[in-house]
Amino acid sequence: MIIGTVGFMYFEGDTLLNSAFMTVITISTVGYSLLHELTDDGKTFIIFLIIISLGVYAYSISIITTYFVEGNVERLLRGRISKRNKKMKDHTIVCGYGRIGQQVTEELLAYNMPFLVIDEEAEVIASSTNSKLVFLEGDATNDEVLLKAGIENARALIIALPLDADNLYVSLSARALNSKIIIISRGTDESAEKKLHMAGVDHVILPEKVGGAHMAKLVIKKNVVEFLDHLSYRGDSLTNLEEIDYIDLPDEYHNKTILEIGIRKKSGANIVGFKTAEGEFVINPTPDIKIELGSKLFVLGTPEQIKSLRK
C-alpha cells in the first residue's frame, strides 16, 4: 500500500525517462512535487538519489533489527559487557557459563563478591536475565581475553569449562599471567585431576565424584548429612558457619587465647574449628589455643549471633 502523496506533472512526449521518473517517486512514496521543471539530467539524478536513499534506509533498519534479535541492545543498555575490566582488583573470574558456572555465579552474588564471567557464546550471554552479572564475550583459552578480564589483578579464577583440555590450557595461561592467583578448576576424572594440579591448579572439583559420594552418604549416614545440609555459609540461613581471620579481630584480641577472647560468652556463637599459621586444622579447639598472625577461626551460630560476633 502506497502511503505517500504523488505530485503529477505533465511531460510532453511521455519519454521513457519521464515514465521511469514517475515510477520511482511513486513506488518510493516520496510524494514528489516539482517547484520548477527538471532537465533530463536532473530527473536522472533524482532517480539515483531516491534509490540510494532507500538502500541506506533498508541497511540501517537491518542493522537495528540485528541488534534487537541478538540481544546486543539489551546487553549494551544494562552494561553487561564491562569496559573497565582491567581496573577491577581482587575479583573472581569465572570461565564458562554452563550449569556449573551459573551455580558459581549465584553463590558469588549471594556474598556480593566482585566477579565477571567469560563465555564465548553470545547466545548464552544473552539468555541470562540477571542484570547484575558482568560478562566478557570471548575464548578463555586466549591470553588476550584473560588480560581483558583483569587476570593480573584478580584474586581467584574458577574454570568451569566442559573439556579437561580447555581447563588445563586456561590453568597454564592463568598461572603464567598471575603467579599468586587462586585457581579452582572442574575436572572429569582422577587422571585429569592430577594433570590440573601439575598445571598449577590449587583445587580440583570432580562434580560426579562429589555428587556420588553425597548420595552414598545419604544411605550410610542420612541424619548426619541432613544436619550438615542445614549448615550454610549464607547469612539468610538458620545456622551459619563463618570464617574469621586474625586480621579481622580488634587489636586487643591479637595473640590472645580463645578463652580470653570469650566469643561464646559475648555473642553466643561457638568456635568449632581453628587453622594454625602453618595451615594445620584443629577440630573443636581447646580454650588455651592462642590466636596468632596467619591463623583463622571457624565459628558456628545463628545469623543474630554472627552479627553480634562481628560487632
Q: Are the C-beta atoms of residues 118 and 148 closer than 8 Å to each other?
A: no
pLDDT of residue 170: 95
Question: Is the C-alpha dihedral spanning 122, 128, 131, 134 positive or negative?
Answer: negative
CA–CA separation, 308 vs 129, rounded Å?
Answer: 36
Does this model's pTM top 0.75? My answer is: no
Q: Print pLDDT tens along the chain (311 aa).
A: 333 333 434 344 445 666 666 666 666 666 655 545 667 776 677 677 778 877 887 888 887 777 665 555 555 544 444 455 556 788 999 999 999 999 999 989 887 889 999 999 888 888 888 888 889 989 999 999 999 999 999 999 999 999 999 999 999 999 999 999 999 999 988 889 999 999 999 999 998 888 888 888 888 888 877 777 766 555 455 677 888 888 888 888 888 888 888 888 888 888 888 999 888 899 888 888 888 888 998 888 887 887 777 77
For residue 298, the number of C-alpha atoms closer than 13 Å in the C-beta half-sphere is 14
Residue 293 burial (CB count, 10 A): 10
Nearest to 258 by CA among 233, 292, 231, 281: 292
Q: Are the C-beta atoms of residues 295 and 309 closer than 8 Å to each other?
A: no
pLDDT of residue 101: 92
Q: At what angle do helices 164-177 and 190-198 cross, to 10 degrees?
A: 20
Nearest to 97 by CA among 108, 111, 112, 84: 108
For residue 201, the number of C-alpha atoms closer than 13 Å in the C-beta half-sphere is 24
pLDDT of residue 2: 36
Measured CA distances, 47 to 2, 5, 54, 236, 251 (Å): 18, 17, 11, 70, 84
Using DSSP bridges, classify how beta strands 135-137 and 156-159 pair: parallel, antiparallel or unpaired.
unpaired
CA–CA separation, 53 vs 62, rounded Å?
Answer: 14
For residue 166, the number of C-alpha atoms closer than 13 Å in the C-beta half-sphere is 15
Q: Which residues pair with 244 in a beta bridge?
A: 297
What b-and-e string marks burial along 9-40, b requiring 16 or more CB atoms within 10 Å of the CB?
A: eeeeeeeeebeebbebbeebebebeeeeebee
DSSP reduced 3-state for 299: strand
Nearest to 237 by CA among 304, 167, 140: 304
**H-helix segments, the chain:** 16-27, 40-70, 72-78, 99-110, 122-127, 143-148, 164-177, 190-198, 207-220, 222-229, 258-261, 263-267, 303-310
